[in-house]
Structures are given as structure tokens and as C-alpha cells.
Chain A
Amino acid sequence: MAERLPVVLVTGFLGSGKTTLLSRLLARPELGEAAVIVNELGEVAIDHHLLRRVDERTVVLSSGCVCCTLRGDLADELRDLLSRRTRGEIPPFRRVLVETTGLADPAPILNTLLVEPVVQHHFEPGAVVATVDGVNGLGQLDRQPETLKQIVVADRLVVTKADVAARGAVVRLEERLRTLNPAAELLEVSFGEVDPGVLLAPGDRDPRGIELGESDGHGGEIRAFVLFLARPVDWSAFGIWLTMLLQSRGADVLRVKGLLDVGAAGPVLLNGVQHVVHPPEHLDAWPDEDRRTRIVFIVRGIEEAELEESLAAFDAAARLVG
């Protein structure tokens, strides 16, 4: 099977700087062969990079990037891009960037990438990048539930307008972001200037390096913690437990991300967003000597002890049955 092309999602609340970020990225040759799907072609400042116009909603830039507007369904758009690439109407591309709307919940988009029959064979979820307004971000976190979802799902959080925001406000915002999603990398950006290699790298940060922020009590019921397991967990028991948990509490399990010791030579890399779980990767070896299982949970209204006791009981049952 041909290698799947990563689809990077660029999400973020209205006015948080997604379009500025994308406009700058499109001008960078390091973006490489990419297809970029945006909400509105006219809003992306690309005129001086334009090489040719394919049709009323698709352009090719001098960097070789294809930029097109999303008409409706993302799965249709991705299938259409593949067809047009095969027919030679557009240049080849090695990755896709998708600008979501400001109100979008990224989880259903990730689900489309993983379950839509044609799409899942040609594409795979790449990093989720969320822009957060350095000036208005704290207020939006309190008022806009969509912003919270985008933040907890992200692999990379880009604090925009860092040049104009008061330093103290940016520091408070970043503390809050670390509390809500300790699994994400934080980047500060002004005028959309960011290294594409850093921004678009796969979102598989080793969860061992994660440090939890101190909750400031403003996260509502949403909180993040790391579950440590002292000994290997049975992989079947874990799969049964997590599928059951996501069926019953999926709306409140906003994020699961970790490295699991399943008693094999290497760990299992796990990454889940609400009901959507990426195919776990069984790695050949551990990245270092530390072989403890660590799973980051970002949850709403669920206690760490409940999860720990429940998972331990499922694991113990596996030992009884086996």
C-alpha cells in the first residue's frame, strides 16, 4: 500500500490568527509539496506567490503548493484532490493542511480521516495545530466552549499576536494552556512567522517529558493528569477497558495520550481524541531506559482514582482469565 499522506489540521477560534499563519506558511518554500484547503481563498494573502489559477477555487503557488477552497465535505475534497493529482491537473503533494472553521470541533474531522473507506487508505491524521489569540485568548477560554475543545485536541498550541499582547497576559494564558493540555507543545508567534518544520512535525511527542501545570481553578471541570502504571498492562484488557470507557464517557474523555508498557520489547503509542482513537503504534523499542507506562488524560468530571482502580480491575481480570 502507498504511504498515507498526513493531514495537518489548523484550528483555532474566530480571529485567532489561522489565516495569517497559513498565509505565511504558504509563502515558505520549506512547506514543500503540499495541498492546502482553506475556508476562503480570497482571505489568504497569496497574490504575489501565485503561479497559475487552475479553476475558480484552486490555485498553484510558485512554491509548488496547491491551495483550494473547501466546498463542503472534507472527505469529498480529499478524494477530489487525489483524482486531480492523478489526472495531472495539480502538482503532486506529500501532505495536506486543512484550515477548519473557527467554530469547528476537530474530533469529527479526525474521525473522517480514520474511518472513511477511501480516505483512510490514502491519508492519515497529522498534527493538530490550534491558534490561540494572545490578546483575547483568556477571555475566549471562559466564554467559548469551542475554544476549549480545540485546545485539548491540539498537538501544538500557537499563541498568536505575542508581539502586541501584554507580556503578563501571555504568561497567564500559557499557564492556563499548559494546565488544560499538558500534552501539547506551546509556540509563540508574531505575524504568523513560524518554522514550518516545527509547526507541522508529527504530533507524537513523547508523553514522558510532559509536566503538568498547577490548576488555577479556572478550567471548570476539565483537568489533566498522568496515570502511571507500575507494571505492564495486558493489551487486550486495556483495549476492552478503553473502548468501554469511550462508549460510556467519551464526551468527557477529551484526550488520551501515552506510552504503554504491554510487556513487549517496545511500548504502544496511544493517541485518542474523545471517541476517536488513532491506530496505536507498537514500537520496536523504548526511547530510553525509563519503561514506565504513562498516560495523559484530559477529562471532565472524572477522578484519577476512578480511572486507575477501574483499569487495574480490568487488568487483574485478564490475569485471572489468562
Chain B
Amino acid sequence: MCSLCGILLRSHWAEEGTGRRERNFRVRLVNQVLAHYGLELGDWGGRTYVLRDRKGKSAVVADLGALWAEAERLAERPLDPLDPALVASLRRG
């Protein structure tokens, strides 16, 4: 529910129709990616997320669609899934 206009908004397409277990799994998986950039995502009440860096800066993000732009802002660099260094880091686990 959008608190401003009172209208039920569609979930983000990548999070539609999934439960708490999937949400927790998604957070763990996103954190595998974010670890490469020194960032960490936490679930906030099952509705939104909190993104943090190692220096204590944080940002609230609504969904996966909003996550990456905010992560780029906190990391102060582009986050490219095609970056070979990230790909190698994911392979190493």
C-alpha cells in the first residue's frame, strides 16, 4: 500500500507472489553480490529493505528495482553484473 495515495501498488516484478522464505533467500543472495562492493542488505519488517555500507551509511529501499541505484550511490561506483571481477567473486562464493 502506498501510504501517500492509499492505492495498492503492484509488487516489483522480481518479488511478485513470493513468501517470507523466498524473501529471506533473496536477501542472502543479494548479499553475495553486495559483499563484493562492501555493502549489506537487511530486511526491514518484511516490507522494505535497509542497505548499509561499512562506514555506517544506510538507505531504505522499497524493492529490487530501487536497490541497485541506491547501492551505486552508497558504493560510489557503478555496479555492473557483467564485471568479470564480480562474476569471479560469485563463483568463489
Contacts and interface: CB of A to CB of B under 8 A. Distances in A.
Interface of A: 114-115, 117-118, 120-121, 236-237, 239-245, 247-249, 277-280, 282, 302, 306-307, 309-310, 313-314, 316-318, 320-322
Contacts of B18: 236
Contact of A317 (B9, B78, B82, B93): B93
Contact of A279 (B16, B29, B81): B16
Contacts of B69: 247
Contacts of B90: 313-314, 316-317
Given A243-B12, A317-B90, A321-B29, 4 more contacts: A117-B2, A120-B9, A237-B29, A310-B86
B60 interface: no
B91 interface: yes
17 contacts: A114-B10, A117-B2, A117-B5, A117-B7, A236-B25, A240-B14, A240-B33, A241-B81, A247-B68, A247-B72, A248-B68, A248-B79, A279-B10, A302-B82, A306-B82, A310-B87, A313-B86
B68 A236 contact: no
Interface of B: 2, 5, 7-10, 12-18, 22, 25-26, 28-30, 32-33, 64-65, 67-69, 72, 78-82, 86-88, 90-91, 93
A320 B72 contact: no
Contacts of A279: 10, 13, 16
Contact of B91 (A241, A242, A316): A316
Contact of A249 (B5, B7, B32, B80): B80
Given A117-B7, A317-B90, A240 B64 contact: yes
Contacts of B10: 114-115, 120, 279
**A302, A307, A309 pick with most chain B CB within 10 angstroms:** A309
Given A279-B10, A302-B82, A243 B64 contact: yes
Contacts of A247: 68-69, 72, 79
Nearest to B2: A117
B22 A236 contact: yes
A243 B9 contact: no
Contact of A280 (B9, B13, B65, B87): B13
Contacts of B81: 241, 244-245, 248, 310, 314
A279 B25 CA distance: 21
**A278, A314, A322 pick with most chain B CB within 10 angstroms:** A314
Nearest to A307: B82
B29 A243 contact: no
A244 B5 contact: no
A275 to B, nearest CB: 9
Contacts of A244: 33, 68, 79, 81
Contact of B7 (A114, A118, A248, A282): A118
A245 B82 contact: yes
Contact of B26 (A115, A118, A240, A316): A240
B50 to A, nearest CB: 17
A121 B5 CA distance: 14
A239 B86 CA distance: 17
A18 B7 CA distance: 36
Contact of B64 (A117, A239, A307, A320): A239
A225 to B, nearest CB: 15
